[in-house]
Structure 1
Amino acid sequence: MSTAQEPVEYAPEQPQRLRWSDHAPEVYKAMIRLDTAAKQGLDHKLYELVKIRASQINHCAFCLDMHTRDALAAGESVERIVQLSAWEESRHFYTAKELAALELTEAVTVLTDGFVPDEVYDRAAKLFEEAELAQLIAAITVINAWNRFGVTTRMAPGHYRPGRHA
């Protein structure tokens, strides 16, 4: 008996509003270049964890689907991905560097008080070299931009496969 399941094609509850990349191709290409530049020098698993966490906060189902699949393809464990939404209660699953990156991701993504608290920034600055910290901030900023495109245009999850663009 086989336990393999065929991929399920999901029908979105709400249709995609706009294929923004078709109508603003230069912006889309610039975002791809920016994304490529932002991840330089960052650990790939950490990079995907940051993208997943920001996408959870922003409720971007498309990006959650994409970056969860990319993280799994990069060797990330299901357990760490599942625990990511409760990372503060599941700290033992992550390294000190990953925890600082997740905390910074939340601070940059939410900006509730209009700033990133000094203690959050300082924790990250102690664990990341300045160039790496700059790349991390860039990666957090870029995923937040992608999330806004995805949520605003209602990009539907379930169709992405690692190794190819949406």
Structure 2
Amino acid sequence: MTETLSPLPLIELAPQAFAAVHALHGAVEQAAAAAGLEPLLLELVRLRCSQVNGCTYCVGLHTGAAREAGESDQRLEALAAWRTSGVLFTDRERAALALAEAVTRLPDHAEGERAQRAARAVLSDAEAAFVAWAATVVNTYNRIAVSSRPVAAVGL
């Protein structure tokens, strides 16, 4: 019989580390706003990274936040397939999503450079940097959430 392990309590065991991640999130939010990045664009970035990482908790969280910020159900439903969604996403959004995916997936150097070049063609350097920072932070949150959920213990 397969026994279910209790979640790994990352936050409870290291609250200072989690507080540092949360502080980083706040610093990135403030700097991104100062650089001119729209809050909804950052929410789409967070949601897409969470989809790529398979973090159910964060997908739900960021879908709700995007809806609250005024995002349409049509665009939310199409986000996972944004590359083939036609004109649903602006060039700016497409560039930010591609850069966020590159930060999340850590592609080979050439692919990462293409994503960065495309982003910097429609975003300022500061905006592109804060899209990358937002992706980095949400990837950290995703890994905390995914690692903290119960997993089946094989052979125990």
Which bracket does the TM-score occupy, shorter chain normalised?
0.7 to 0.9
Summarize deviations over 1:12-31 as a string: whole Å, max 9, x none: xx776133222211111111
When structure 1 is superposed on structure 2, of 132-141 and 79-88 the one drifting more is: 132-141
**Measured at CA, do residues 15 and 43 of structure 1 come closer, stay the same or move farther in structure 2, by a change above 3 Å?**
farther
Matched residue count: 142
The answer to which structure has the higher helix fraction is 2
1:66 aligns with 2:56: no
State the alpha-carbon separation in 2 of the partners of residues 139 and 115 from structure 1.
Answer: 22
Q: Report the 3-state secondary structure (helix = DSSP H, G, I; strand = E; otherwise coil) of the residue aligned with 2:87.
A: helix
TM-superposed deviation, 1:91: 3.5
**Measured at CA, do residues 16 and 115 of structure 1 come closer, stay the same or move farther in structure 2, by a change above 3 Å?**
farther
State the alpha-carbon separation in 1 of the partners of residues 5 and 91 from structure 2.
Answer: 41
User: Would you say the 8 A contact 1:38–1:136 is kept in 2?
Assistant: no
State the alpha-carbon separation in 2 of the partners of residues 63 and 57 from structure 1.
Answer: 11
| Sequence identity percentage | 38
Q: Report the 3-state secondary structure (helix = DSSP H, G, I; strand = E; otherwise coil) of the residue aligned with 1:117.
A: helix
The runs of at least 4 consecutive aligned structure 1 residues that moved more than 4 Å come to none
Query: Structure 1-normalised TM-score?
Result: 0.79
State the alpha-carbon separation in 2 of the partners of residues 25 and 150 from structure 1.
Answer: 14
What residue number does 1:153 align with? 148
1:77 aligns with 2:72: yes
State the alpha-carbon separation in 2 of the partners of residues 121 and 127 from structure 1.
Answer: 10
What residue number does 1:5 align with? none
State the alpha-carbon separation in 2 of the partners of residues 19 and 91 from structure 1.
Answer: 42
What residue number does 1:51 align with? 46
Q: Report the 3-state secondary structure (helix = DSSP H, G, I; strand = E; otherwise coil) of the residue aligned with 1:32.
A: helix
Code of the aligned partner of 1:121: Q
What residue number does 2:94 align with? 99
What residue number does 1:21 align with? 11
State the alpha-carbon separation in 2 of the partners of residues 110 and 117 from structure 1.
Answer: 9
Code of the aligned partner of 2:38: D
Summarize deviations over 1:57-93 as a string: whole Å, max 9, x none: 1000010011111111111111111100000110311
State the alpha-carbon separation in 2 of the partners of residues 37 and 61 from structure 1.
Answer: 25
1:138 aligns with 2:133: yes
Query: In structure 2, which of residues 103, 119, 124 is the aligned counterpart of residue 124 of structure 1?
Result: 119
